[in-house]
């Protein structure tokens, strides 16, 4: 059994990968913050689930319809999302103040349709930053090739960035270097914060079925090993990059390090512990963002032993063994990045379609 505060004592902040109106208005988020939660993340899939089920948003939707009978689903979505993010940011503000801007963040994502459009990402990030108008906001930017340019520009401008959809260690290293380039252009680097969201369980979700097809003893011994090995390799890269001269120069100017954030750490394989990835990746100077069910499991029965640095000598061996079976982790990561962008784009489109239907329902119910 481990509390959120025990994880914090080991150097890891726990963020909640979920937000909805009831959590914000009925005291749920305040209680979690009191128990040690240090942040909140969101994405189009989360907002789709929150905004289009139940009636928590109906009153706000009604107000917006009455103000503008022609309000578009996109405008409606942005208004609702900005309100939620502002409320979450205000609840987390005491954490942000207490940690002098090191924690207490809430993340809001640019449109996934801009994942390969650097200038469009930068423009929308600026717009959302101004719309939310909270110092403890992080703008989520996909870690695509185009995202690297956007990350550098936004960090240079002092906009906090949560780099998302990272699967590849090579891309993670490129993101860290883009972060440094942004710091170099920023007159006040101490005032900007960033995390790099490295996705975990989806790696095993892609590789384990291929191992099952190979069906050798060697293949079976590698099941559910790739994701943790890949994440630990990324952490080794983090430790190396933060020690290099380029970041050290920025640290002397007061810059904070861009922490690795472990994403997709809920367990999908029922044969594994529901805290399998959470326990394996506990370690210093990291963040783990978890959905409510995984957070509950963590508090109930997770160990707070820092396992992140365990088995570092075997990490590359695991990936080499996979390569020997014809499974290249960088190719898998590239496929997962493309798939992740496509899935978030599909969630965004489904959200807009369902908001359009919900607008019609509210209009008919109240005869607006």
What digits encode the pLDDT tens for the residues 103-135? Answer: 999 999 999 999 999 999 999 999 999 999 999
pLDDT at 217 over 60: yes
Task: Give the model's confidence band at 52: pLDDT under 50 very low, under 70 low, under 90 confident, else very high.
Answer: confident
Rounded to an integer, the average pLDDT of 30-40 is 98
Q: What is the 3-state secondary structure (H, E, C) of 15-42?
A: EECCCCHHHHHCCHHHHHHHCCCCEECC
- pLDDT of 68 reads 82
* Separation between Cα atoms, residue 283 and residue 239, nearest integer Å: 12
| Tokens 């139940």 belong to residue | 54
- Neighbouring C-beta atoms of residue 190, cutoff 10 Å: 15
- pLDDT of 241 reads 98
**H-helix or E-strand spanning residue 53:** none
Rounded to an integer, the average pLDDT of 160-169 is 98
Rounded to an integer, the average pLDDT of 136-146 is 98
The DSSP 8-state label assigned to residue 55 in this structure reads: S
pLDDT at 21 over 90: yes
- pLDDT of 363 reads 83
3-state secondary structure of 92: helix
* Separation between Cα atoms, residue 167 and residue 150, nearest integer Å: 18
- pLDDT of 102 reads 96
Does the annotation mark 268 as catalytic?
no
User: Catalytic: which of 140, 268, 293, 343?
Assistant: 140
Domains assigned to the chain: 4-207+229-310+333-366 (3.20.20.70)
pLDDT at 189 over 60: yes
pLDDT at 254 over 80: yes
Instruction: Give every CB contact of residue 248 below 8 A, 6+ residues apart in sequence.
Output: none
- pLDDT of 309 reads 82
- pLDDT of 148 reads 98
pLDDT at 286 over 60: yes
- pLDDT of 1 reads 58
- pLDDT of 120 reads 98
316-357 pLDDT, tens per residue? 999 999 999 999 999 999 999 999 999 999 999 999 999 999
Task: Give the model's confidence band at 367: pLDDT under 50 very low, under 70 low, under 90 confident, else very high.
Answer: low
- pLDDT of 124 reads 98
Residues β-bridged to residue 290: 16
Report the chain's mean pLDDT, rounded to a whole number: 95
Rounded to an integer, the average pLDDT of 65-72 is 87
């Amino acid at each position: 059994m481990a509390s959120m505060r025990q994880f914090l004592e080991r150097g890891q902040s726990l963020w909640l990968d979920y937000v909805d109106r009831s959590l914000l208005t009925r005291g749920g988020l305040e209680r979690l913050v009191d128990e040690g939660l240090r942040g909140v993340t969101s994405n189009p899939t989360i907002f789709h689930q929150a905004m289009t089920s139940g009636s928590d948003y109906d009153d706000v939707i009604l107000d917006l319809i009455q103000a503008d009978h022609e309000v578009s689903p996109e405008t409606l979505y942005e208004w609702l999302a900005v309100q939620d993010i502002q409320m979450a940011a205000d609840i987390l503000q005491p954490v942000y103040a207490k940690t002098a801007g090191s924690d207490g963040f809430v993340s809001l994502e640019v449109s996934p349709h801009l994942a390969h459009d650097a200038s469009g990402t930068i423009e929308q990030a600026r717009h959302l930053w101004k719309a939310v108008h909270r110092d403890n906001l992080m703008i989520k930017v996909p870690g695509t090739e185009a995202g690297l340019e956007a990350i550098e520009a936004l960090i240079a401008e002092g906009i906090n960035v949560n780099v998302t959809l990272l699967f590849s260690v090579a891309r993670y290293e490129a993101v860290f270097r883009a972060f440094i380039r942004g710091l170099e252009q920023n007159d006040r680097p101490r005032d900007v914060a960033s995390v790099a969201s490295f996705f975990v369980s989806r790696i095993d979700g892609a590789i384990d079925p291929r191992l099952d097809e190979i069906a050798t003893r060697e293949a079976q011994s590698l099941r559910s090993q790739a994701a943790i090995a890949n994440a630990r390799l990324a952490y080794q890269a983090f430790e190396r990059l933060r020690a290099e001269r380029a970041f050290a120069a920025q640290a002397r100017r007061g810059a904070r390090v861009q922490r690795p954030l472990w994403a997709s750490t809920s367990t999908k394989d029922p044969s594994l512990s529901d805290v399998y990835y959470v326990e394996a990746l506990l370690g210093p100077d990291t963040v783990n963002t978890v959905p409510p069910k995984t957070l509950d499991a963590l508090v109930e029965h997770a160990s707070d032993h820092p396992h992140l640095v365990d088995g570092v000598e075997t990490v590359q061996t695991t990936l080499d063994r996979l390569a020997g079976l014809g499974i290249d982790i960088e190719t898998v990561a590239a496929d997962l990045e493309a798939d992740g962008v496509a899935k978030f784009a599909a969630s965004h489109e489904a959200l807009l379609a369902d908001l359009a239907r919900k607008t019609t329902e509210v209009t008919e119910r109240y005869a607006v």
